[in-house]
Amino acid sequence: MDALKNVSNLHRKRLYEEVSDELKKVIFSGGYQIGDKLPSETELAKLFHVSRSVIREAIRYLELTGLVEVKQGATGGAFVSEMNSLIIQTFMKDFLISGKISFSQISDVRMYLDPEISRLAAMNATEADLKELKESVNLKPDETDGIKTLKRMARFHVLLGKASHNPFYAIISGSITQFSTELTAEFTENINETERDRIQSEHEAIYEAVLAGDPDKAAELTKKHSKWMDERMIEREKIYLELIKK
């Protein structure tokens, strides 16, 4: 509660927005760290002099933006979470369904971002980053669950974004990677073994370039890998759009 003692007076536009803004300020200033539990609805309502329903709306808004995670149960509540790309993924899906963007346009963005992320990872990766990347490429495929394997493989790109130490690049690239993976999982029961083996092999090569601190090679390998992966996704985009319209 001490972290919230200096909150600003509210100016009653939309109360839940003002409450969420104040909570964001406290979180971003370090008043609450990742994993910390926010005060209860009752405590926050008293602190902000608003109803519990306003607090619920504010927490729901923060949850939608990925800033907090709400857990149920006796030990539940609103917990500060690591900033994630969920809201961007949601926008991309809605825009794709509505026809406002295409996967080829998303691919154009990724073809620029992913090689640059790998380049930065080769320059900036810490020992901890390299360890996570190694563990990712060393994961054995699940022969009984192709989608689970695909999601494990997608995590490699999320970890590359983290290893780049550019949070903006990491969030955008992570959004596209997770969106592509979820899109594939929605209409594919398994992945082709040949495709799986190729993804695994190319991830290993990218990891070795990052480990060697070779930014040009890491970027070149990633560009080829992303081009091939995006070609597969563009082929599947039409199937996906037809399925969701049925």
| Residue of higher predicted confidence among 172 and 7 | 172
What is the secondary structure of 191-223 as a DSSP string? --HHHHHHHHHHHHHHHHHHHTT-HHHHHHHHH
Q: Reduced to 3 states, what is the DSSP secondary structure of residue 117? A: helix
99-108, 143-152, 209-218: which has the minimum mean pLDDT? 143-152
Which of 61, 80, 99 terminates a domain? The answer is 80
Alpha-carbon separation of residue 225 from 35, 65, 105, 195, 230 (angstroms):
35, 30, 17, 11, 9
Name the most confidently modeled range: 30-44, 113-127, 131-145: 113-127
pLDDT (mean) for 98-126: 90
Does the structure show a pLDDT above 90 at 168? no
> Residue 142: its pLDDT value, please?
64
pLDDT (mean) for 28-33: 86
CATH number, residue 28:
1.10.10.10
Whose tokens are 């926010």? That residue is: 38
CATH number, residue 117:
1.20.120.530
Distance CA 33, CA 26 (A): 10
Q: What is the pLDDT of residues 209-235, one digit of tens each?
A: 999 999 999 999 999 998 888 887 777
Same-domain pairing of 95 and 33: no
Same-domain pairing of 118 and 240: yes
Same-domain pairing of 209 and 223: yes
Residue 103 is encoded by which pair of tokens?
């996967």
| Residue of higher predicted confidence among 143 and 157 | 157
Does the structure show a pLDDT above 90 at 11? no
- % of the chain exceeding 70 in pLDDT: 83
Q: How confident is the model at residue 52 (pLDDT cuts 50, 70, 90)?
A: very high
- C-beta neighbour count of 128 within 10 angstroms: 10
Looking at the structure of the chain, the number of domains it has is 2
Q: For residue 155, what are the contacts with CB-CB under 8 A and spacing of at least 6?
A: 136
pLDDT (mean) for 4-19: 70
Distance CA 140, CA 197 (A): 11
Phi then psi for 71, rounded to 5 degrees? -115, 145
Same-domain pairing of 179 and 116: yes
Residue 171 is encoded by which pair of tokens?
């969030």
User: Which of 4, 2, 21, 25 has the alpha carbon at shortest distance from 12?
Assistant: 21
Q: How confident is the model at residue 125 (pLDDT cuts 50, 70, 90)?
A: very high
Q: What is the pLDDT of residues 56-84, one digit of tens each?
A: 999 998 988 778 989 888 788 999 987 66
3-state secondary structure 7-67: CCCCCCCCHHHHHHHHHHHHHHCCCCCCCCECCCHHHHHHHHCCCHHHHHHHHHHHHHCCC
Q: What is the pLDDT of residues 183-207, one digit of tens each?
A: 777 666 566 778 888 989 999 999 9
Mean predicted lDDT score pLDDT of the chain:
84
| Range of the structural domain that residue 205 is part of | 86-244
Distance CA 51, CA 47 (A): 10
